[in-house]
Amino acid sequence: MIRREVAIVGIGQTGYAKALPSTAWELAVAAVLAALADAGLDPADVDGMCRFAPPFEPVSEPMLVRALGIPELRFFAESPLGGEALGAVIAHAAAAIMAGLARTVVVYRALSQSKGGRFGRADRGGPSGQPAAAPSADIVVPEEDNRSFAWPYGLMSPGQLFALWARRYAAVNRLTEEDLFRALGSIAITQRRYANNNPAAMMRDRKMDWDDYRDARMISEPLRLFDLCLENDGACAYVLTSADVARSLRDDPVYVLSATQTLSPYREPMGIYVGGELLELFPPATAGRLFEQAGVGRQDIDVAEFYDATSYMPLRSLESYGFVPDGQAWRYVAEAGTGPGSPLPVNTHGGHLSEAYLHGMNGVLEAVRQLRGTACNQVAGAEIALVGAPAGSATILAR
Amino acid sequence: MAIIPAVTDLTRPYWDNARAGRLVTQRCASCGNSWHPPLPACPHCHGTDIGWREVSGAGTVYTYTVVRHATHAALADQIPYVIAIVELAEGPRLVAGITGCAPQDVRVGMPVRVRFTAVTAEVTLPYFEPAPSPSPTPPSTPAPTP
């Protein structure tokens, strides 16, 4: 088990914006250098690298090794499936460090959606990285991931996919339209308020009240504009090493208690074809493993950073990670809430909805700041944090 | 401009049958299990003698969304449209559009039946429309034993 054998010793990020002049390569280099500087390390110290590997990752390990002049990587590993890499990259890094395959592992994620690959536009080099077709030609959808059975009906973006999940959630739990509106809006508005106090957040100067939320255009019912994450340029990185090395580098390393990855048939994005209940694809069993390996319980978690490509995902994550009984998070977020002073503050940086979208990496950085006591929206005395994607790829960190 | 599926050796029977007005799913000749979308082997018994069987075309809306913002230029003139997951009476689920009613009238649990729509000379897509009665017609071939 990982339990405090490995720690995060450095975090780094670029600015986040709808469009930055820099390329994804430049952004990745800047974020990694910032993380190494924060750790008091040099690129020459890096001997391991773990990264997200969706098909549209713009920056490869060879590009970074060359640009940073890293003498040799002894270990590098990639994790597919977008946000499902969130805990996996930490699990891989920790395993490598504990097995002696690497000593200092960098994890990074860079996005440049302004230059192509917008997740919300299937015709501008979407998640598939496909170039736009000629306006008059038929668009032929490849069979890969069985998209050929979904795209012809216009199911082409993650936002639409999670609208299907949110609608199912409302039907199974017998929510009225107003119940669902209040639940999703509570998440979106709370995160916006956190972002308003976060200088790094893209939405720091954009206040949002219930009227703003309600009046925003409907994108894919029941999800409105502000239920969907931002699309942006930016990069994040962090550095992991063994606990012993970590303590020699700084007084406040953030220890990894556990990290999980998970894969079963018909996981996202194939969950639409699952034979069982769609909502159960956010599996409690994986969360159980996460807590068991960490040696802590739900009541020990002081702050949670949940992956939020849409506002629905933190809602369901409160249930799937066991903080709120199944089918009750919609009421919980509207009543107890997830803001400052609530039983479990969630997405205290503003999340993907209001800080920036970086495949959950910015949630890891926020958890590190919370545990160092340096967050903008600091949870007083935070000692243990959970960062998780909805389907169970997650980590528990501690100071 | 239409958005059409690439047809491969694995998926050709599905699309050929759709063009002929038949909705089919793969079925394992060894154990009788059925699923969608197509797979190269049976996920239950790992048999490779995989056939196709016609289903009734009856099902219910498992979940749906009304899309009001086009994510692809090819769909701009179709807004709003409905994407649903339809649970077939025989069990497997598939993604399809819902036609034949106003988008705001679609509900989870609503009975639907298949309605084929030719989008190009080569490609016909199964859509679904509200079914007149909640009781689906029997499948044209017997359902597999679970």
Summarised one tens digit per residue, pLDDT across range A271-280 is 778 778 888 8
Q: Are strands A104-112 and A233-242 parallel, antiparallel or unpaired?
A: antiparallel
Cβ–Cβ gap B109/A149 under 8 Å:
no
Catalytic residue among A108, A169, A213, A307: A307
Q: Which of A194, A213, A238, A357 is catalytic?
A: A357
- Residue B26: phi, psi to the nearest 5? -70, 145
- Checking if the pLDDT of B145 tops 50, the result is no
**Helices A312-320 and A158-172, interaxial angle, to 10°?**
50
φ/ψ (deg, to 5) at A20: -110, 150
What pLDDT was estimated at residue A260? Answer: 94
In what helix (H) or strand (E) does residue A158 lie, and over which residues does it extend?
Answer: helix A158-172
Q: Are B39 and B7 in contact (CB under 8 A)?
A: no
For A117, A186, A214, A353, the CA distances from A330, given in Å and listed in that order, are 32, 9, 17, 18
The answer to whether A311 and A338 are in contact (CB under 8 A) is no
pLDDT single digits (tens) A222-248: 999 999 999 999 999 999 999 999 999
CB-nearest partner of A122 from B1, B71, B78:
B71
CB contact under 8 A, A153 and B85: no
Tens of pLDDT, residue by residue over A66-102, are 999 999 999 999 998 888 899 999 999 999 999 999 9
Under 8 Å CB-to-CB from A299, ≥6 apart: which residues? Answer: none
What average pLDDT does this structure show over A318-333? 96
Q: What is the pLDDT of residue A136?
A: 62
Reported as a single tens digit per residue, the pLDDT across A36-52 is: 999 999 999 999 999 99
- Tell me the C-alpha to C-alpha distance, in Å, between residue A31 and each of A23, A185, A220, B135: 12, 32, 34, 59
Q: How far apart are the first and last CA of chain A?
A: 17
pLDDT confidence tier of residue A128, bands split at 50, 70 and 90:
very low
Number of neighbouring beta carbons within 10 Å of residue A69: 9
Q: What is the mean pLDDT of residues B102-112?
A: 97
Taking residues A166-188, what's their average pLDDT? 98
Q: Are B101 and B130 in contact (CB under 8 A)?
A: yes
Residues of B in contact with A220 (CB under 8 A): 65-69
Q: What is the mean pLDDT of residues A8-16?
A: 98
Counted across chains A and B, CB pairs separated by less than 8 A come out at 138
Residue B13: burial class (beta carbons within 10 Å; 0-12, 13-18, 19+): middle
- ipTM given for this complex: 0.92
Q: At residue A144, does pLDDT exceed 90?
A: no
pLDDT computed for residue B135 by the predictor: 52
Q: List the single residue in A152, A167, A171 with the smallest CB-CB distance to B65.
A: A167
pLDDT score of A82: 81
B contact set with A (CB within 8 A)? 1-6, 8, 10-11, 35-37, 43, 62-75, 78, 81, 83, 85, 91-97, 108-109, 119-120, 123, 125, 127
- The model carries a pTM of 0.93
Handedness of CA A118, A121, A123, A127 (dihedral sign): positive
Please state, rounded to an integer, the average pLDDT across all residues of chain A. 93
Neighbouring residues of A218: CB distance < 8 A, sequence distance ≥ 6:
A224, A225, B66, B68, B69
What pLDDT is attached to residue A268?
63
pLDDT in tens, A195-228: 999 999 999 999 999 999 999 999 999 999 999 9
List, for residues A263-307, the tens digit of each pLDDT value.
888 876 677 787 788 888 777 778 999 999 999 999 999 999 999
